[in-house]
Amino acid sequence: DSGVTQTPKHLITATGQRVTLRCSPRSGDLSVYWYQQSLDQGLQFLIHYYNGEERAKGNILERFSAQQFPDLHSELNLSSLELGDSALYFCASSVATLAGYSYNEQFFGPGTRLTVL
Partner 1 sequence: AQTVTQSQPEMSVQEAETVTLSCTYDTSESDYYLFWYKQPPSRQMILVIRQEAYKQQNATENRFSVNFQKAAKSFSLKISDSQLGDAAMYFCAYRIISGTYKYIFGTGTRLKVLA
- Report the residue number, 5 or 79, with the smaller CB distance to partner 1: 5
- Report the residue number, 61 or 79, with the smaller CB distance to partner 1: 61
Q: What is the 3-state secondary structure (H, E, C) of 88-107?
A: EEEEEEECCCCCCCCCCCCE
Q: What is the 3-state secondary structure (H, E, C) of 51-96?
A: CCEEEEECCCCCCEEEEECCCCCEEEEECCCCHHHCEEEEEEEECC
Task: List contacts with partner 1 (CB under 8 A).
Answer: 2, 31, 33, 35, 40-45, 48, 55-56, 58, 88, 90, 92, 94, 96, 100-101, 103-106, 108, 110-111, 113
Contact status, residue 4 vs residue 108, Cβ threshold 8 Å: yes
